[in-house]
Structure 1
Amino acid sequence: MADATGGDGTGEEMTDRQRTLAFVTVLIALVLEVADSTIVNTALPVIRQTLGASPAAMQWIVAGYLLVLGSLLLLGGRLGDAFGYRRMFLIGVAAFIATSMLCGMAHTPQQLVVARLLQGGAGAMMGPQVMAIVQILFTPLERVARLAWFGVIGGLAAIVGPIIGGLLIEANLLGLGWRLIFLINLPIGLLALWLGVRTIPHKDVGHRLRVDLAGAALFAIGFAGLLLALIDGAEHGWPAWTLLSAAVGLAAILSGWRRAVARRRDGLSAMIEPTLFRLRTFRWGLLAILTFAASAAGFLLVLAVTLQQGLGKSPLATALLHMPFGLGVMAGISLIGKRYLPRFGRWLLVSGATVMAIGGALALALLAQGIGGGVELIALLGLAGMGMGMIAGPLPPVVVADVDRAFAGTASATLRTAQQIGGALGIALIGSAFFAGASGEGAGRLSGLLPAGVVFVMLLLLSCVAALRLPGDIFGTRGGRER
């Protein structure tokens, strides 16, 4: 079957309707993967109440998914190259359905954490194939419009996740309560699986790749060691084993980097492409997106937990208060980010981080005073969301602005890895500051908002510093250079 781009996939022999259905299929998978990173936030207080989860377990339920997803994304992409994107996509979707069912059936915090880790692994097998399938479905010109949907749908899925979570818990269909936020993946996933079998074309693997499993394991061990130290260290008073865990984590990440450099020098495949980090836009853009993702994930966790455990709001009321934040994100992406990025470049990113820091910090300050509603809080949440949109939309194209087309896939996978690992670190850093600073239940939990807010602002400050290191003319519009 001939690819529309001249490759060995499919394109020209498919009708427009078939390609559209295949595109919708991978969009459904994208929504599943992204939404499950945030949908659980609204359910955490209810999960804690019904399962008796500790603060550390609550953080692991969110961060564990992001950790495994981020750690294995590059491996998932390599497996798709080696064994076929369609095959790995269908395997990933099937595994995501199964692990979502395990999450919904969990009866202890430990069972839920393990199920979430497995769910992150399934997402890592499914997610990287989405971009690859789009590449074999459409010509380069057609991809521009299709990929624009990725940013919009992916951003909305992350923001709408907590809202949907609250609505599902409030509905309490069949008395399932919080379990619905995971079990809802079953009919959606089955639809994606059925459509995938029928619409996604076969792609013959033209060559065999040696997947660097050892390199993938080193990075996964490294990130897990750091996260274990950050999450459990604060709760247990930083015993020696948590410091050892952090040291092992750092050593594993360093070893993984050295292994990647050595393998690329010898002409072998590696989990990351070290030469990409020589690019100023990639290096500093990646740091900016990692710290930004950390601040956003930590903020949404603290917001959901505070509204319910600190201020006694229902999951539905919590979901409704996420709406102004989501509307702000949409405005930041569509009305500001896309329009002004070519003109203002790095200064748009700095402005977005500043707006998000001001709006988010002031919103947390109002919550700390026991104010869980009103025009002021709604306006500040909308402001914080707008700042987030001003960063979330522009940063990905900034990161890959100077990347050679030959490394587009690897750069995209590295970018998504930074986003997920950043989110996991944000849950650990901001979540640990929040729970460590809390002095009990109810209103006492509000005392954790101050240290959480400080970490939140510091992460955005780091994102600003990284953005300022970007070139003034990111996309070469003044010099007219082409990439």
Structure 2
Amino acid sequence: MTVPTLSHGQKTLAVLTLVIALVLEIVDLTIVNTALPAIQADYAASPQTSEWVAAGYALAFAMCLMLGGRLGDALGYRRMFVIGVAGFTLASVLCGVAGSGTQLVVARILQGVTGAMMAPQSLALMQILFDPLERVHKMALFGVIGGLAAIAGPILGGVLIHADLFGLGWRMIFLVNAPVGLIAMLMGLRFLPELRSPHGGGLDLAGTALFALATAALVWPLIAMEHSGAGPLELGSLLGAVVLYAVGWRHVKRRSGEGRSVLFAPDLFTVPTFRLGLSIAASFALATGGFLLIFAFALQRERGLSPLQTGLLHMPFSLGVMLGIGSIGRRLLPRYGRWVLVAGALMMAVSGGTLLLAIGLTPWPLMALLPLVALAGMGMGMASGSVGPVTVAHVDRAHAGAASGLLKTGQQLGTALGVALIGGGYFASPHLTGLSGVLGATLLLVPVLLVCAVLAVRLPSRLFGEGANRQT
């Protein structure tokens, strides 16, 4: 792929454009949690409707990420970015004017679909515009801003609802996206280069449908099991997901062998850094998704903290994440490579496991827990901030969109699995094994993080620089 020569200023404006879209995506994911009680009261909606306001977005987002990445390769990354932002902005307005709970759920699903068109283009363009070492620094910036956006989401939601601007109440948390989305669209058209993969070709509609259905069959029961447990329907759906993924993989392999267009190139999985990096990303997302759920829940259930106190105790964790991504990982990854991932996973295993046990099984005062909270966040930041640039380090730029879609899909699936598996361990352990909930969750969390460390050790010793960069 021919990469355009851009000045430092042009690259900076391109990154700023992608950052605005990142903030739009992350804030909208977290801001809605603050508004759910007000939404339920306004519509007199059932708890299931309120749950699907959040879950509908997550499900649609996960289902369509691979398609979004592939469309970027085929139709152009800037074009799909602008289309995704435009659709996301329109869906946000539809959320803000929804006349019923059902309309709001439908609009949230549309947000998830269009968000999945937008999100992979950011990582794809970062991969194309920057060399592997440059990516480490730029993606560290993404991590820091993403962490700040995640913190700001619930706070902004509370402020907007309390302010009740124009008497719109909770609707402003969605309508505020309109001017931000418009700015992102205009900047995308002005500052992002027009690029597409030379292997773009057509679309594999059958493969797209197979993998979307497989993802839905996996994510839906995991969401449902958070509230209703695992019944025959949920377990059957999980089994069906495995079958659909297997059929989808055979389909892609066959079409690739025939030289036809595919959802993703199977050869991506022959690249050691991509194969291992994707496994680490999914496993680490599993661990962190479960940990964050149990951390918040145990503080309230075991220690009797209020939601506000629980939110405040997340601040040192978030600061640790930003330090791990923006300073430690960014500086050490080019020099020490895989060992940054190993250290991050082990740090989170030790500090995160100890933290959960201390919350539920010891009388330690909350102030004594703060160092563990910060260390767990730092370990998460070191690993999560490093896994993205490592995973795509040796991927051909011509497959940037598909690789980005696969990476984000793996992380989404890992998070859903973590909530179900580690969350299930917390809630089920007292009944099934007689162990305390935090002990049951910790016995699941720590081995997953150890698996991440073992996988990271298997990465090549040289990840970046001359001799390691096999991009074309």
Q: TM-score normalised by the shorter chain: which range applies?
A: 0.7 to 0.9
> Are positions 1:34 and 2:26 aligned together?
yes
* Deviation of the 1:255 alpha carbon: 1.0
**Cα 1:463–1:131, aligned 2, differ >3 Å: closer, same or farther?**
closer
- The equivalent of 2:223 in structure 1 is 231
Alignment of 1:78-477 (within 5 A): 78-104=70-96, 113-133=105-125, 145=134, 148-158=137-147, 160-169=149-158, 172-174=162-164, 181-200=173-192, 209-233=201-225, 235-307=227-299, 316-368=308-360, 374-434=366-426, 448-471=437-460, 473-475=461-463
Which amino acid is 2:463 matched to?
F
Task: Say whether the 8 Å CA contact 2:73–2:196 is kept in structure 1.
Answer: no
Task: Say whether the 8 Å CA contact 2:92–2:178 is kept in structure 1.
Answer: yes
Which amino acid is 1:391 matched to?
A
**Cα 1:132–1:386, aligned 2, differ >3 Å: closer, same or farther?**
closer
Q: Distance in 2 between matches of 1:448 and 1:48?
A: 30
Task: Say whether the 8 Å CA contact 2:143–2:322 is kept in structure 1.
Answer: no
Q: Distance in 2 between matches of 1:17 and 1:402?
A: 26
Task: Say whether the 8 Å CA contact 1:43–1:166 is kept in structure 2.
Answer: no
Q: Which runs of 5+ in 2 are unaligned?
A: none
Which amino acid is 1:475 matched to?
L
* Deviation of the 1:205 alpha carbon: 9.7
* Deviation of the 1:312 alpha carbon: 6.1
Q: Distance in 1 between matches of 2:430 and 2:171?
A: 27
* Deviation of the 1:295 alpha carbon: 1.7
Task: Say whether the 8 Å CA contact 2:136–2:333 is kept in structure 1.
Answer: no
* Deviation of the 1:57 alpha carbon: 7.1
Q: Distance in 1 between matches of 2:438 and 2:321?
A: 22
Q: Render the CA deviation track for 1:366-404: whole Å, top value 9, x for unaligned.
A: 443697973222211101001111201222232234434
* Deviation of the 1:254 alpha carbon: 0.8
Q: Distance in 2 between matches of 1:60 and 1:11?
A: 45
Task: Say whether the 8 Å CA contact 1:433–1:452 is kept in structure 2.
Answer: yes
Which amino acid is 2:319 matched to?
L
Q: Distance in 2 between matches of 1:290 and 1:327?
A: 23
Which amino acid is 1:429 matched to?
L
Task: Say whether the 8 Å CA contact 1:63–1:425 is kept in structure 2.
Answer: no
Q: Distance in 2 between matches of 1:201 and 1:256?
A: 33
SS at the partner of 2:459? coil
Task: Say whether the 8 Å CA contact 1:41–1:300 is kept in structure 2.
Answer: no
Task: Say whether the 8 Å CA contact 2:147–2:321 is kept in structure 1.
Answer: no
**How many pairs align?**
463
TM-score by length of 2: 0.82
Q: Render the CA deviation track for 1:448-467: whole Å, top value 9, x for unaligned.
A: 54444433333323322322
Task: Say whether the 8 Å CA contact 2:299–2:310 is kept in structure 1.
Answer: yes
SS at the partner of 2:202? coil
Task: Say whether the 8 Å CA contact 2:62–2:215 is kept in structure 1.
Answer: no
Q: Distance in 1 between matches of 2:45 and 2:427?
A: 16
Task: Say whether the 8 Å CA contact 2:222–2:416 is kept in structure 1.
Answer: no
Q: Distance in 1 between matches of 2:251 and 2:297?
A: 40
Q: Distance in 2 between matches of 1:470 and 1:204?
A: 29
**Cα 1:317–1:102, aligned 2, differ >3 Å: closer, same or farther?**
farther
Q: Distance in 2 between matches of 1:287 and 1:204?
A: 27
**Cα 1:267–1:207, aligned 2, differ >3 Å: closer, same or farther?**
closer
Q: Distance in 2 between matches of 1:244 and 1:110?
A: 27
SS at the partner of 2:213? helix
Q: Render the CA deviation track for 1:86-106: whole Å, top value 9, x for unaligned.
A: 332222112212333444566
TM-score by length of 1: 0.80
Q: Render the CA deviation track for 1:168-221: whole Å, top value 9, x for unaligned.
A: 315622076665544443332232134334544666998972111221221121
* Deviation of the 1:332 alpha carbon: 1.7
Q: Distance in 1 between matches of 2:338 and 2:41?
A: 44
Q: Distance in 2 between matches of 1:381 and 1:127?
A: 29
Task: Say whether the 8 Å CA contact 1:218–1:256 is kept in structure 2.
Answer: yes
Q: Distance in 1 between matches of 2:355 and 2:41?
A: 26
**Cα 1:176–1:151, aligned 2, differ >3 Å: closer, same or farther?**
farther
Which amino acid is 2:447 matched to?
M
SS at the partner of 2:259? coil
Q: Render the CA deviation track for 1:114-144: whole Å, top value 9, x for unaligned.
A: 44432221111112233455678x5x56x96
Deviates more, 1:297-306 or 1:98-107: 98-107
**Cα 1:194–1:244, aligned 2, differ >3 Å: closer, same or farther?**
same
**Cα 1:317–1:463, aligned 2, differ >3 Å: closer, same or farther?**
same
Which amino acid is 1:129 matched to?
Q
Q: Which runs of 5+ in 1 are unaligned?
A: 440-446
**Cα 1:199–1:407, aligned 2, differ >3 Å: closer, same or farther?**
closer
Which amino acid is 1:166 matched to?
I
Question: How large is the RMSD of aligned CA atoms in angstroms?
Answer: 3.9
